[in-house]
Amino acid sequence: MRTTAAPVKRIEIVKKPTVLLIDDEESIRKSLGGSLEDEGYALVTAQDGASALDIIKTQPVDIVFLDIWLPGMDGLETLKAIKDYNPLLEVIIMTGHGTVNTAVQAIKMGAFEFLEKPFSLDTIIEIIRKVQEKRQITLQTMRYSKSIRPDNRDVLVGESQVIAHVREMLSQFDSTDDNVLIQGESGTGKELVARLIHYASRHTYRPLIKFNCVDFNQDEIERELFGYHDDTHPALNKDGILNTTSGGALFISAIDVLQSAIQKRLAQHLKASGQQHQRLRVFASSIKDLREELKQRQMSEELFSCFNPEIICMPPLRKRGGDIALLLRHFLTYYCEEHGQKDKMIEDEALEILTQYDWPGNVKELKNMVEKIVVSMPTTSITVNDIPRSVRSDRESGIEKYYVRYNSLNEAEDAWKKDYILYHLRRNNRNIAETAKYLQIDEVTLLDYIKRYGIVLVSGKKAYHHAQRTLKRSMVLSGRGLHSGIKTGLIISPLPPNSGILFGNISDGETIPAHVDFIESTEYATSLKKGTSRASTIEHFLAVLHAYRITNLLIKINNEVPIMDGSAVDFCQLIEDAEIEEQDATIEEIVISERYTVGEVDSDKKYMIIEPSERFIIHYTLNYPRPVGRQEYTFMLDNEQAFKQEIAPARTFGFLKDIEALEKKGLASGGRLNNFILIDDEKIINTELRFPDEFVRHKILDLMGDLYLLGRPIRGKITANMTGHTHNCSMLRLLRENIQIN
C-alpha cells in the first residue's frame, strides 16, 4: 500500500524590523520601547533629532516613530532630514495634541502615518504590519532605486542667456568628479549650483557638507578642516571635516579668506584624496574674481590647480532682468506651499516695479522679500502697497516725480553717485581701502568724493538706530503651557528684514503680528488674537527678544508659549544657541520726548510713568503683604547679558488663593512645583528664591515683554508702581496714540 506523503509546509521566516523611537520623554521611551522589545522587535531610541540622524546614518533602521515636539530640531524638521537622507525609510509621527492641518503637513512631507497620543500597543503593531507589507510590495516591484534630490523645488530658474550658459556648464560637471570653483556676488546662488551638480552626479546619496570660512578665524578654520591631535591630551583630539567627509562632497564657502598656509595644506590634502578610491569632491565659492586673486597671488596656484580650470560664474540679478518675473513666480509657489498658503498672484503695476528694481542683494534678496510677503499678507493678490518700501521707494509717488525731482543731469548724477558710494561704504563697514578697491578707484579719489558729497563717516551705528536682527538657524523648545497644562513648545525660524515678530499657529499656518493692535487679553498673562488664532502667555519670550534686539522672527506655537521653569532663562539659551544674525536693514528706536502717565500717581495707587532718558531704564516698586513685602528694583538695559543675569532668572509667582481662582476658570492646569513660586499667607511654600527681590524683578520681566508689542525698542525711563499687564498695555496704546508708531 502506497502512502502519500503529506505536503511539506513551507515556513518563511521574516525578520522583525528594527524600530527607532524618537521622543524626549524618558517615560515614553521606556514604556513604549519596552512593549516593542517584549513583542520581539529590535529597538533603538533617541531623545532628539540630531542623535536620531546619527543613528540612521550609522546603523540599519527599518521604521521610525517620531515625536512632533523635540529639543533642537522639531519633529517636522527631523522628518524632512530623515527623508532627505533616506526617502525610503518610513516615519510615523506621534503627538500629544494633533490637528488635521499638522497631520496633513506631515503626510505631505512623507510621513507614513500620524498618531495622536495616547495610543495602544495594538495600534503600533498594526502600523508596523502595514509598513512591512508596503516594503514587501516595493521590493517585489522595484528593480532599482533612483536617486532622489533633497528638494524637487531646487532648480536653477531662468531663461536668460547667462543662465543658459551656467546650465550648460552644470551638465558638463555633473558627469565628472572634478572639484569645482564657483564665483559671484553674494546672493547669486553659488551654493544652489553646488547642490545641483552634486545631486545630479553618480554620488547623489553621499552627503554634501557645507563649511563657511567666514564663520571662523584662521586657527579655527584649520582645526575644523584638518582636525586636531595631541598625544598628551587625547581627549581633546578631533577629526577634521576633510577626513570625516571622505567619500562625500564638501562645499567650502568664501575660500578666498583662507591664509596661504591653509591653502597650501588644503591643496596637499586634495591631491592626496584624488589618489584614493573614496575620494572627496570639493566645491568652493568666492564673491571675488578668482583668476584675479590668482594674479594677485591671494590664491595659490597649487590650490587653484586642484580644481577644474573652468570657473562657474554666477551672474548678478541686474544682468538677467528677464528672469525676475520667472523667479518671482517660482518663489511664490515655493513659499505658498511651504507655509500652507493659497497661491498668490502679482498685479501688473507691482510686477513692473519689481522687474525694474536693481536687486543689490540678488536672488537671495528677492527670495527673502517673497517669503516675507507670503508669511505676512493674507490676500491672494499682491499689489504695489504690499511691496517693501525699500524696493518701491521713489516710484511709489509716480514715475513723473521720480524723473523731475532733480533740476539737472549733473544733479541727478551726483545724487546717484552719493547713494552708490554710501551703499558700498556701509557694505564694507566704512573701510576706505576695501571700498576703493571694489569701486576700482584709488583711496584719494574716494576721499575726495566723500568730502564733495558731505558724507560723514562714523564708527558704529547711527544714534538711535540699530541693525535689524534675526537668528542664523531654526530651533525648537518643548515644555508645558502654564494655563493649558498640555505638552507644547515653540519653533523659531529666521525671517527676512522688515518682517517683524510673528506668532504662527503650528497646525494651520496662520500668523499674528506681535503688536499692540492684536492684544486680546491681559488677565494673568498677555494674549494675542487674530481671526481664530491665538498666542497666549507671550510676555516672557518677548522680553528676551526685546533684550537681545531680535526684530524679525517667526514663532510657531500651539496657542500658548511654554512656561518652562517660570522664568526666561531657557529662552535666553535658545536665542544664544540659534545665534544672532545682523541684517542689512536698520530699525529706529522709539525715542520718548515727553512725559506720559497711566493711572493716578500716588504711592498707594497703581500707576506708570514714561519720560525722556538717554537709556532704557525701568524702576519698579512692588508692595505686597508679607511674606513678599515692599521691593524696589532699577534695571538698565545696557546689553543682553545684564538682562540674562539680573532679570531673566526671575520666575512667575502667585498666591495660593489666585491659583484656586484660576482653577475654577479652568486655567492653571500647567502649574507645577518647578515652574511657579507659590505663596500662602505666611511663606513661600514650594521653592527657594533665586534673588531676595525675585518678585519685583519678575514684574520687570513682564513689563519688558509687553513693551515689545510696539515692535521697536524704546529709549526712555519707566517708573511703575504695582502695575500689571493691563497697565502695561494701556501705556502701549497711549504711546501709540501720541507718537507716530507704525
d(CA 384, CA 354): 9
118 preceded by a cis bond (ω within 30 of 0): yes
Residue 202 DSSP label:
T
Give the rounded distance of the alpha carbon of 119 from its chain centre: 33
d(CA 705, CA 728): 10
Catalytic-residue membership of 233: no
d(CA 270, CA 249): 12
d(CA 428, CA 439): 11
In our burial notation (b when 16+ CB lie closer than 10 A, e otherwise), range 295-331 reads eeeebbeebbebbeeebbbbbbbeebeebbeebbbbb
Sign of CA dihedral 294, 297, 300, 305: positive
Number of H helices, E strands in the chain: 26, 33
DSSP string, 461-489: SPTTEEEEEEESS-EEEEEEBTTT-SEEE
DSSP string, 87-151: TTSEEEEEESS--HHHHHHHHHTT-SEEEESS--HHHHHHHHHHHHHHHHHHHHH-S------S-
Whole-Å CA distances, 155 to 174, 326, 590: 14, 12, 43
Short-list 44, 45, 105, CA closest to 79: 105
Catalytic: which of 269, 540, 698, 725? 725
d(CA 518, CA 376): 14
d(CA 137, CA 142): 8
Cβ neighbours of residue 408 under 8 Å, at least 6 residues apart? none
Residue 677 has φ and ψ, to the nearest 5°, of -85, 115
d(CA 625, CA 606): 15
Whole-Å CA distances, 34 to 43, 55, 70, 132: 9, 19, 21, 21
Cβ neighbours of residue 632 under 8 Å, at least 6 residues apart? 619, 620, 621, 622, 693, 696
Residue 469 · residue 581 · CB < 8 Å: yes
Residue 622 · residue 695 · CB < 8 Å: yes
Consecutive H or E run containing 622: strand 617-624
In our burial notation (b when 16+ CB lie closer than 10 A, e otherwise), range 704-713 reads bbbbbbbbbb
Q: Which three cell numbers stand for residue 686?
A: 514650594
d(CA 136, CA 140): 6
Active site residues: 725
